[in-house]
A and B are shown apart, each in its own frame.
Chain A
Amino acid sequence: MSAAALRRLTLRVLELAGVLFIVSVGVFSLVVLLPGDPAVDILGAGRPPSEYAELRHDMGLDQPLHTRYFDWLGGVLTGDLGRSVVPPQSEVSDRVVSALPVSAEIAVLGLLIALLIAVPLAMWSAYREGGIADRIIGAGTFAVLSVPSFLAGLLLVMVMVNSLGWFPRSEWVRIGDGDLLGNLHHAFLPALTVALVELAMFARVLRGDLIVTLREDFILAARAKGMSPLRILFSDALRPSSFSLVTLLGLSLGRLIGSTVIVEYLFSLPGMGSLVVNAANQGDYPMVQGAVLTIAVIYVVINAGIDFSYGYLDPRTRRVHV
């Protein structure tokens, strides 16, 4: 790695650290600013005030805000996200570690399915711009976009599980259990539910960019070399057209990991979305802080990775900062 590239990377990492610092402050204060008293939540109402005060002291809640923040941050940096305040008061990090793979798998699998369907659809649409296939695909993606995911999920469950019996009723098989096929079998429907909306978006965005690219002179030049249309689409048109798609992909991945609550409920998946929602309902603030921070870190890191990928997608953006 050249000195300039190393310098760029260092700057980028510092920038990331800054963003993450702001995120951590946001996550911390969000929960502090929330109404409700954790001590009351834990002990229940109607106890003598001294008991509440004692508990607050034990939990460090009587300390000034900045002290509490740095205590919390110190823990976070050493991998300790604290303990849940709700019985059985499990370690936040344990719960996050068990929920994260579920959400990540659904998100990644969903996006893969979405890409696998969206890319060929977009290519076909763009290649035959204005044709019958383009119009059908356009109308279809628009219809899918306007169907909310809870409805799509319900329909999928009704058809695929209840009527056809192709997929098992909701229950989760962990990848770690060694039953990869069983895991995929269970993950497919929720992933497909997630994929539907995303694929409609991907297809529309990629189609638009492809149409612009296909009008470029270098596409005509590739045709004049005798390349087949399919080859031109994949090897000449796709990469220069994929900026918006890749950006969208990064945003979707970050979003899906944290906020597929509806799909998780529908398929009773023990993912991050349900973890956060349950914790928030129970006033379990360390859990909310830990989970939201994890999601935020993943989001920021993924999108930093996306920024780096632009350099691969378009060599012209590989500038050397002096």
Chain B
Amino acid sequence: MGLPERETVTSAPVPLLQATDVATVFRTPRGAMRAVDGVSLSLARGETLGIVGESGSGKSVLGRTLMGLITDGPETSVTGSVLLGGNDVHALTPAGRRTLWGTEVAMVFQDPMTSLNPVKKIGRHLSESVRLHLGLSRAESRDRAVDLLCQVGIPEPARRAGQYPHELSGGMRQRVVIAMALACGPRLLIADEPTTALDVTVQKQILDLLQSLGEELRMATILISHDLGTIAGRTDRVAVMYAGRLVEHARTAEVFDNPRHPYSRALIASIPHLDLSPHTLLPAIEGRPPNLLNPPAGCRFAPRCVVATDLCTTQSPALTGRAGDDTGGAVACHHPLGAAKEATV
């Protein structure tokens, strides 16, 4: 089965990415750890999605599962389906998946200090994938590497291409990591906490770069972050993840202005604002995220939720509604906020 023509994808309503009921379970010595538990989402061409959640909520695992970097194996079980440009990522052979990586989907990793090989020159990081996927000659791939460095805003790209990663600053290195991901023109970019390891002053530059490149190249982007602030205003939609599940999935403005899941509301309330008076105590979420080896029955947020009822601790709420809707998107809650006004529960 070959890749579909790009034209058919743009004209047809088939989404670029269609994940259905994806679950990733790690078999650990202490039991099965359900890192991702029944996540469904879709992404159209050029669309941007933010995935937010606390550390350990499964967002990085979700990103890697969507890409097929984590697959079904002896230590991991992956169920559900991920369709990427019409290919079922998890039904492909390992070699088949590798042809998608770089060309169809690419990933920007969290820590630019460790995601570049210390013994390889910057140029080689970029040229080897274009040689592999696009079949360019040595000289062509070298030129392409310099172009890519230029594209991600690295000054003196030709000189930088001949340097080793340790000779570049953290922000420069993350630009290289981004250039690496862009090298073969992927249609989907998954950025997994791309600014977490960077200085605050550099974070905005990197996010702006990702955003402008996404628009310029008409590339769909999934921006994974634990920080709602990085996502605000940068993505079309936001999916809030808690303990391996999506609890809310809606247009970004909708989530920020009118969060419907108590967890989303608590997350947003804990973002510091400049207009807060000094020494204001920010509202933190009481308790800790559940142990994924032994998650609570019912809604996983119930033990920490201020509006939880008996129903919440026994029955797990399904994600209902549509993420693209203007009417609030999808939420997985028995008592969604704002619902009480419209209808008496």
Is A220's CB under 8 angstroms from B128's CB? no
Determine if A223 and B69 form an interchain contact, defined as CB atoms under 8 angstroms apart: yes
**B95 contacts which chain A residues (CB < 8 A)?**
228
The yes or no answer to A87 lying at the interface (CB within 8 A) is: no
Q: Which residue of A lies closest to B167 (CB)?
A: A315
Known: A221-B109, A316-B166. A226 touches B118 (CB 8 A): no
CB-contacts of B96-116 with A (<8 A):
98-103, 106-107, 109-111, 114-116
Are A223 and B109 also in contact (CB < 8 A) when A218-B114, A218-B116, A240-B118 are?
no
Chain B hits for A222, CB < 8 A? 117
Q: Report if B180 contacts A (CB, 8 A).
A: yes
| A226 close to B133 (CB less than 8 A) | yes
Residue in B closest to A240 when the chains form the complex, CB atoms:
B119
Contact check, A314 vs B177: say whether CB atoms are below 8 A apart.
no
Q: Kindly state whether residue B256 has any CB partner on chain A within 8 Å.
A: no
Question: Which of chain A's residues 201-249 have a Cβ closer than 8 Å to chain B?
Answer: 216-218, 220-228, 235-236, 239-240
Once the chains bind, are A227 and B98 in contact (CB under 8 Å)?
Answer: yes
Question: Which residues 170-199 of A sit at the B interface, judged by CB distance below 8 A?
Answer: none
Cβ-defined contact, B101 with A314, below 8 A: no
The reply on A76 being an interface residue by CB < 8 A is no
State the Cβ distance, B94 to closest chain A Cβ, in Å: 8
Who on chain A is nearest to B121 by CB?
Answer: A315
A313 within 8 A of B: yes
Please determine whether A314 and B119 come into contact, CB atoms closer than 8 angstroms.
yes
B115 is contacted by which of A221, A240, A313 (Cβ under 8 Å)? A221
- Cβ contact within 8 Å between B166 and A218: no
CB-defined contacts of B115 to chain A, threshold 8 Å: 217-218, 220-221
A310 shortest CB reach to chain B, Å: 11
How many residues on the A side are at the interface (Cβ–Cβ under 8 A)? 20
Q: Which of B67, B106, B119, B164 contacts A239 (CB 8 A)?
A: B119
Answer whether residue B202 sits at the interface, using C-beta atoms and an 8 A cutoff: no
Taking a contact as CB atoms under 8 Å apart, the answer to whether B103 and A226 are in contact is: yes
The answer to the question of B120 belonging to the interface, with a C-beta cut-off of 8 Å to chain A, is: yes
User: Residue of A at shortest CB range from B101?
Assistant: A226
Please name the residue on chain A nearest to B106 by beta carbon.
A224
Q: Is B132 an interface residue (CB 8 A)?
A: yes
B235 within 8 A of A: no
- Cβ contacts under 8 Å, B118 to chain A: 218, 240, 314-316
Contact A224-B69, Cβ < 8 Å, known A217-B109, A315-B164, A315-B166: yes
Chain A-chain B contacts (Cβ-Cβ < 8 Å), number: 71
- Bound CA span A274–B182, Å: 62
A67-93 interface bits toward B, Cβ cutoff 8 Å, 1 = contact, 0 = none:
000000000000000000000000000
Say yes or no: B128 contacts A217, CB within 8 Å.
Answer: no
The reply to whether B119 and A221 contact each other, CB–CB distance below 8 Å, is: no
Q: How far is the CB of A212 from chain B (nearest CB, A)?
A: 13
Query: Residue B129 at the A interface, CB < 8 A?
Result: yes
Q: Which residues, 277 to 322 on A, are CB-close (under 8 Å) to B?
A: 313-316
The CA of A221 and the CA of B124, in the complex, are separated in Å by: 13
**Is the CB–CB distance between B102 and A225 below 8 Å?**
yes
Assembled-state Cα–Cα distance A313/B132 (Å) = 24
Bound complex: CA of A315 vs CA of B167, how far in Å? 10
Q: A217-B109, A217-B111, A315-B164 are in contact. Are A224 and B101 (CB under 8 A)?
A: yes
Report the bound CA distance from A217 to B192 in whole Å: 12
Chain A residues contacting B67 (CB-CB under 8 Å) are 224
Instruction: Assess whether A226 is in contact with B102, with CB atoms less than 8 Å apart.
Output: yes
Q: Which residues of A contact B177 (CB under 8 A)?
A: 221
Tell me, in angstroms, the Cα distance from A223 to B105 when the chains sit together: 12
Min CB distance A127 to B, Å, is 13
List residues 123-173 of chain B with CB under 8 A from any CB of chain A.
128-129, 132-133, 164, 166
Which of B109, B132, B181 sits near A220, CB closer than 8 Å? B109
The chain B residue with its CB closest to the CB of A242 is: B119
A236 partner residues in chain B, CB cutoff 8 A: 117, 120
Report how far A223 CA is from B181 CA in the complex, Å.
Answer: 12
Determine which of A216, A221, A239, A313 lies in contact with B180 in the assembled complex, contact meaning CB atoms within 8 Å: A221
Assembly CA distance A230 to B39 (angstroms)? 33
The residue that B119 contacts in the complex, of A223, A225, A228, A315, with Cβ under 8 A, is A315
Interface centre among B115, B132, B181, B183 (most CB of A within 10 A): B115
Contact indicator B119/A313 (Cβ below 8 Å)? yes
**In the assembly, what is the distance between CA of A236 and CA of B180, in Å?**
15
Chain B residues near A239 (CB, 8 Å)?
A: 119
Distance to closest chain B CB from A316 (angstroms): 5
Q: A221-B180, A239-B119, A240-B119 are in contact. Are A227 and B128 (CB under 8 A)?
A: yes
Q: Mark B217-228, 1 if CB is under 8 A from A, else 0.
A: 000000000000
A236 and B121 alpha carbons, distance in the complex (Å) = 12
Q: Is the CB of A225 within 8 A of B109?
A: no
Whole-angstrom distance between the alpha carbons of A79 and B110 in the complex? Answer: 60
Which residues of chain A come closer than 8 Å to B101, judged between CB atoms? 223-226
- Across the interface, B98 reaches (CB within 8 A) one of A216, A221, A228, A235, namely A228
| Cα–Cα distance between A222 and B114 once the two chains are bound (Å) | 12
Ordered by A's residue number, 8 sampled pairs between the chains whose C-beta atoms are within 8 Å are A218-B118, A221-B116, A223-B69, A223-B101, A224-B69, A224-B107, A225-B183, A240-B118
The 4 closest A-B pairs by CB, nearest first: A226-B101, A217-B114, A226-B98, A226-B102
| Extra contacts besides A224-B67, A226-B99, A226-B129 (14): CB < 8 Å | A217-B109, A217-B110, A218-B118, A221-B109, A221-B180, A224-B107, A224-B109, A224-B181, A225-B101, A227-B128, A227-B132, A235-B128, A240-B119, A313-B119
